[in-house]
């Protein structure tokens, strides 16, 4: 009898371990790889960085040929994206959909090709700030793309998803979650389409933006160490914003009859610069807390034991040429800096204890452009404005890592940022004699004066054929509209 109890106990433990391992296997940690940068690493260097860190899932925002060629044969699971601007053409013209699939999918899949998992149709097309601009295109685009994939014999291999911002749904407490009233009809159609085709619901969740946009938002509720301001929702208590937001979506899906639909987190992360609260300490605390939270497989109150299918950290690298309309932090989401250097210690739960940095990065020479200390800088304003219009000066603003380096430091930072973007062209450090080149690193404390990289320029790289097809799609669509 004692032996039976022992054996049965071991059997139960073994079954539980097997079940947990299966859940863990289906919950992946991936990254978003954006390329809106003035200092872009070569795609092969980035793919090597992914491999070195055992990152087996990556999400792209387009179908850049250089990135896709570098990913071929890597085994890394890939999501490619269709920009919102192409949805009109693809939704209106089946031939445009066929062309896009042929150009960006068929040529890259197959033996030795990319491991394509999803196509992201649009990027947050229902965002409130778009005022419905792309809303009517989504379902026709999905229909046309599904047919195009079927024609290419890829209908069962590649799934379509629509990355949604968390503002697509709303509630005061998670159990009251519902999609925005103006989205109810299209969301009903969307989740039915996703369910019929075996696709998950993809959502982007950003507790940082809740904290950034609301001075009354409890800071500790944005993280995963527990909160002194939990949200009580009947029998359920929420100690972090991520779980609360996630279960609000679960409730919204349940109200449409799809409460068990798989969910993928398309974007989630924390910036390291460019705003109060955006710093290395907070970013590490959030991302590490999130990873441990998800990998524990505890799920949420409305989905206990069922974490998201996958989460994609935003992002892999800083993107110094992104729009700063949402805030200066937009250029500083990377867990790595633009040159593939780890910003902080982070365990992704993928086998490495800490991040491994990019190898064999080719930098420009170690020289910088700074303000000439022997010149009167009173007339520098226009030069400063020019430099910061072209280059990235977001770290100089309130809350940034270079906010306290003084007036001359600000000028030097702006001059150098411009100088590095021009690949250290000596004339770009002139500024009517107000700038000078130095071989001494002018970095001050935590404020880093960068040196550019030489490896890759998208404007000179492999994207030309893709941009040409994109241009033709838009032209064809415009002509089609004019002829209607």
Instruction: Please give the positions annotated as active site.
Output: 124, 267
Task: Give the containing element (helix H, strand E) for 67.
Answer: helix 65-71
Residue 103 DSSP code: I
The candidate with the shortest Cα–Cα distance to 190, out of 122, 238, 247, is: 122
Q: What is the DSSP string of 323-357?
A: --SS-GGGG---SB-TTS-BSS----SSS-SSPPP
Distance, in Å, from the CA atom of 442 to the CA atom of 438, rounded to the nearest integer, reads 8
Q: What is the DSSP string of 131-145?
A: TTTTGGGHHHHHHHH
Burial (CB < 10 A; 0-12, 13-18, 19+), residue 35, is: buried
The candidate with the shortest Cα–Cα distance to 423, out of 360, 371, 364, is: 364
Count CA atoms within 13 Å of residue 291 on its CB side. Answer: 21
Spatial contact of 27 and 310, defined as CB atoms under 8 Å apart: yes
The candidate with the shortest Cα–Cα distance to 444, out of 419, 391, 408, 471, is: 408
Spatial contact of 74 and 467, defined as CB atoms under 8 Å apart: no
Spatial contact of 146 and 190, defined as CB atoms under 8 Å apart: no
Sign of torsion, CA 201 251 225 229?
A: positive
Burial (CB < 10 A; 0-12, 13-18, 19+), residue 427, is: exposed
Q: What is the DSSP string of 341-409?
A: -BSS----SSS-SSPPPPSS--BPPS-EEEE-TTS--TT-HHHHHHHHHHS--GGGSTTSTTTTSHHHH
Other C-beta atoms within 10 Å of 208: how many?
23
Distance, in Å, from the CA atom of 207 to the CA atom of 268, rounded to the nearest integer, reads 8
Residue 105 DSSP code: I
């Amino acid at each position: 009898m004692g032996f039976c109890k022992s054996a049965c106990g071991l059997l139960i433990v073994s079954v539980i371990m097997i079940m947990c391992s299966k859940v863990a296997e289906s919950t992946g940690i991936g990254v978003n790889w954006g390329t809106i940068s003035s200092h872009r690493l070569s795609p092969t260097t980035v793919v090597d960085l992914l491999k070195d860190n055992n990152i087996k899932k990556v999400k792209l925002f387009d179908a850049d040929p250089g990135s896709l060629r570098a990913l071929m044969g890597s085994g890394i699971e890939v999501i490619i994206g269709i920009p919102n601007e192409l949805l009109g053409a693809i939704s209106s013209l089946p031939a445009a959909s066929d062309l896009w699939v042929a150009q960006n999918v068929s040529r890259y899949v197959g033996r030795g090709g990319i491991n394509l998992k999803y196509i992201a149709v649009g990027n947050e097309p229902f965002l409130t700030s778009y005022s419905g601009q792309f809303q009517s295109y989504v379902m026709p685009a999905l229909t046309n793309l599904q047919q195009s994939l079927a024609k290419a014999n890829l209908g069962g291999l590649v799934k379509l998803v629509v990355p949604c911002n968390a503002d697509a749904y709303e509630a005061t407490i998670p159990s009251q979650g519902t999609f925005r009233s103006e989205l109810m009809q299209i969301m009903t159609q969307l989740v039915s389409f996703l369910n019929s085709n075996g696709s998950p619901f993809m959502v982007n969740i950003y507790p940082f933006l809740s904290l950034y946009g609301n001075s009354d938002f409890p800071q500790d509720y944005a993280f995963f160490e527990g909160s002194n301001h939990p949200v009580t929702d009947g029998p359920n208590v929420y100690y972090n914003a991520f779980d609360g937001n996630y279960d609000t979506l679960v409730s919204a899906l349940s109200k449409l009859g799809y409460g068990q639909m798989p969910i993928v987190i398309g974007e989630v992360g924390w910036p390291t610069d460019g705003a109060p609260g955006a710093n290395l300490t907070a970013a590490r605390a959030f991302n590490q807390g999130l990873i441990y939270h998800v990998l524990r497989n505890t799920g949420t109150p409305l989905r206990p034991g069922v974490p998201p299918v996958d989460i994609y950290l935003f992002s892999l690298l800083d993107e110094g040429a992104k729009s700063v309309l949402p805030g200066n932090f937009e250029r500083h989401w990377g867990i790595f800096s633009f040159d593939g250097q780890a910003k902080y210690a982070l365990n992704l739960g993928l086998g490495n204890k800490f991040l491994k940095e990019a190898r064999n990065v080719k930098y420009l020479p170690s020289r910088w452009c700074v303000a000439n200390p022997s010149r009167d800088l009173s007339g520098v304003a226009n030069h400063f404005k020019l430099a910061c219009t072209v280059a990235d000066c977001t770290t100089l603003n309130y809350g940034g890592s270079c906010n306290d380096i003084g007036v001359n430091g600000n000028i030097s930072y702006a001059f150098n940022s411009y100088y590095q973007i021009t690949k250290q062209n000596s004339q770009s450090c002139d500024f009517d004699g107000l700038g000078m080149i130095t071989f001494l690193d002018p970095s001050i404390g935590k404020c880093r004066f960068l040196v550019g990289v030489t490896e890759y320029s998208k404007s000179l790289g492999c994207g030309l054929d893709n941009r040409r097809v994109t241009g033709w799609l838009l032209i064809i669509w415009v002509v089609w509209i004019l002829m209607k």
